[in-house]
Amino acid sequence: MSGEFAVETRSLTRSFGEVRAVAEVDLAVPRGEIYGFLGPNGAGKTTVVRMLTTLLLPTSGLALVAGHDISGEPNAVRMSVGAALQEAALDNKQTGRELLELQARLYGLKGKAIRQRIEYLEGLVDIGEALDRRIGTYSGGMKRRLDLAAALIHDPQILFLDEPTTGLDPISRVKVWDEVRRVNREEGVTIFLTTQYLEEADLLADRVGIIEQGKIVVEGSPADLKRSVGSDVVVVRIAGEMNATAEACRQIKGVESVEVHGQEMTLSVGEGSRVIGPVAVALDQSGTIAEEIILRTATLDDVFLHYTGARLEVDANVTKEDETWQ
């Protein structure tokens, strides 16, 4: 294992009884990178983060975080990382400043060092006057931002964010993205970000790993992953039998792959404008009536579909938060 990586794992595995939640995961996250860990609920994302932050011991395998073994040197790992997990542990009766001061003292900071660090984070994470209000008055977005500041109070090398925007409205979500970029750029912090939002991974991450049923199925930059399934995508929705139509489309020059899922057929193609006409002809010759034909560029959803055989279903049971962060 190399010191150039902030996070490095070999065959990292975690089982709960007979259930293998994480299966021999290999990771190598360079220092200073934003790494997006993408997958549906139950895929193993949170279990991986809990192991890397020493909240859960692995069943087998090896993991180094900031150069420290998660099993043999847990205290050194904890001093090197910050974590903002899915459920923020915030006391509504405290003010934001009181929470940050307590967090700083727990990490051994004192006096002037605490004041200086909070003053810096106040600007970095843009908390503002809300620091002196009780946390119970905060919107959902502001609580996320305070939790981010608390995770950064001890100037960690690596920041773990476990689905940091789940439950936020679109405006608050974009603001959290801005804060994450600023922390990475201005502090040089390596960020390990788990998410089930395709747009979040696409916009923030330098590289993305897709995990499904405890295994990483593909890894690469968002651009490279999208190129791997074709520069364009043709989506055809029909009512009726798809098999003969799919086989006819596979014979079309320029079609790189064809995926069929129910009444939807997805074609990965090099140049969509050249292929969409022959696709329409193939549909007509096979006696298929298309309800809809869509030409678009490839997305991470297409990548997920290609490598896992399913679309990423995001939990729709989210809470609409106040759109202001103040």
Question: Are residues 206 and 248 located together in one domain of the fold?
Answer: no
Closest to 7 measured CA to CA, from 201, 189, 275:
189
The two three-digit tokens of residue 151, written as one number: 């995770």
Question: Are residues 246 and 199 located together in one domain of the fold?
Answer: no
Please give the residue that has the higher pLDDT: either 126 or 112. Answer: 112
Q: Please tell me the predicted confidence (pLDDT) of residue 283.
A: 84
Question: pLDDT at residue 67 above 80?
Answer: yes
Closest to 292 measured CA to CA, from 235, 240, 254:
235
Terminal CA-to-CA distance of the chain, rounded, Å?
Answer: 45
Q: Please tell me the predicted confidence (pLDDT) of residue 88.
A: 65
Mean pLDDT, the chain, integer: 87
113-117, 269-273, 300-304: lowest mean pLDDT where?
269-273
What is the rounded CA–CA span in Å between residue 306 and residue 259? 7
Q: Which domain holds residue 235?
A: 230-297
**Sheet containing 68-69: which strands, arranged edge to edge?**
19-30, 5-16, 60-65, 68-69
Give residue-wise pLDDT tens across range 210-240. 999 999 999 999 999 988 887 788 889 887 7
Question: Are residues 264 and 168 located together in one domain of the fold?
Answer: no
Question: Are residues 212 and 258 located together in one domain of the fold?
Answer: no
What is the rounded CA–CA span in Å between residue 35 and residue 208? 6
Looking only at the bridges linking them, the beta strands covering 68-69 and 60-65 are antiparallel
Give residue-wise pLDDT tens across range 94-105. 999 999 999 999
Question: Are residues 143 and 209 located together in one domain of the fold?
Answer: yes
Asked if residue 36 lies in contact with residue 205, where contact means CB atoms within 8 angstroms, the answer is: yes
Task: Pick from 154-158, 263-267, 271-275, 305-309 the range whose average pLDDT is largest.
Answer: 154-158
What is the rounded CA–CA span in Å between residue 99 and residue 89? 10
Q: Check which CATH number belongs to the domain holding 261 and give it.
A: 3.30.70.100
- Domain stop point among 194, 220, 246: 220
Question: Are residues 238 and 165 located together in one domain of the fold?
Answer: no
Domain count, the chain: 2
Is residue 305 in some structural domain?
Answer: no
Q: Please tell me the predicted confidence (pLDDT) of residue 311.
A: 74
Question: Are residues 237 and 127 located together in one domain of the fold?
Answer: no
Q: Check which CATH number belongs to the domain holding 134 and give it.
A: 3.40.50.300
Q: Please tell me the predicted confidence (pLDDT) of residue 261.
A: 82
